[in-house]
Chains A and B, each alone.
Chain A
Amino acid sequence: MGILEDHRRFKEIIKGKIKENFKKYITHEEMIGKREKEFVKIPIPKIKIPKFVYGPKQSGGVGQGEGQEGSEAPGKGEKAGDKSGEHQVEVDVEFDELAAMLGEELELPRIEPKGKSKLDSSLNKYTGISDVGPRGLHHFKKTYKEALKRNISSGTYDPDDPIIIPIKKDFRYKAPKLVSKPATNAVVIYMMDVSGSMGNQQKEIVRLESFWINTWLKYNYKGLETRFIIHDAAAKEVEEDTFFRTSESGGTLISSAYKKALEVIESDYPVHDWNIYLFHFSDGDNWSSDDTKLCVSLIKEKFAPVVNMFGYGQVESKYGSGQFIKDLKVHFENDDQVVLSRVKDKTEIIKSIKEFLGKGN
């Protein structure tokens, strides 16, 4: 089929293998719609062929829906300021499906929860079928089917008089099956730098990243807890809502957040029973190199031995990108537990998620 060849070529363009000059027409979309109701948009990569067209903001159009003159046009709100929005399909998706899609799109490995053997609990479920068993577990449908099959194959079935009488051979019984149920627990602690240099755009990036990380982890662990820590020169634990809204003006002492996280782990999450994930986002402008040293030793001695992953995402702000990621790189270049990722702008979120979750820790 010619279409498969066309499809392969399209994929190559998207991946930048051929026609590099096409990159600018590839539409990168925000993946999230509404968070509470778990509405999402699924990104479908498209390449727009430039033509002579009117600018969408200039032309406007005819729409339909409730509203007064001067109020926001229904169905147009989210697209404002983003002309590439028109390629998106907006739908209801189940949370699990969403995670599965994410995994498939980014080719993420499934996570092997640690301490699996220890935490497994098994139980019997009557989902199997057996041809011997007690009367009480008689499976009517299966039995009927068997009898029907036998009748048809032996030619005694008469559609005008469809009476089926099962014989002993036909009887089927529900049988117990051993199901192992991993009783794994996981906790994610998000830390974010809310110092003056982190603007709204940077926080938006963090919000999106943490949404997707959460989605993926929730899919892999049934009981996922989340904790949130914000810091500038001092750190405090906050609610999720506050986490994304707070804006401070102070300076940056990253170690304060790490100490706080350590406190949280030590008090609430015994390391043997919990899969622990730490994610820290900052623009990387730590105040002093002494503090950076302290951070490195905290990660090395306190975090790395006990957590599944320590992720550090450096978000670039208008003041540029700080030194911190480079300092960490020196120490943790080949460390499996510590993952570093640099996020320049929104379009790099996907790449960054892949860096974080691609290892399957």
Chain B
Amino acid sequence: MHRDHELHGRRRSRNFGLLGVLLAFIVIIFGVTVVKIRTGGFSEGFDHVARPSALPAEEVSQ
């Protein structure tokens, strides 16, 4: 099949769409990770880690 077969043209938009979805997925995973680490939800209650939910509001904000 020739490189510029019209099939490639038709698939191009689909491939770019998929690329967009994958990039969005990466951004979401990154965002969720940042938020989870900042809020301490992951590590809360585990070994030697403070529990933000058990601290007074002033200490959490510090």
Is B a genuine binding partner of A?
Answer: no
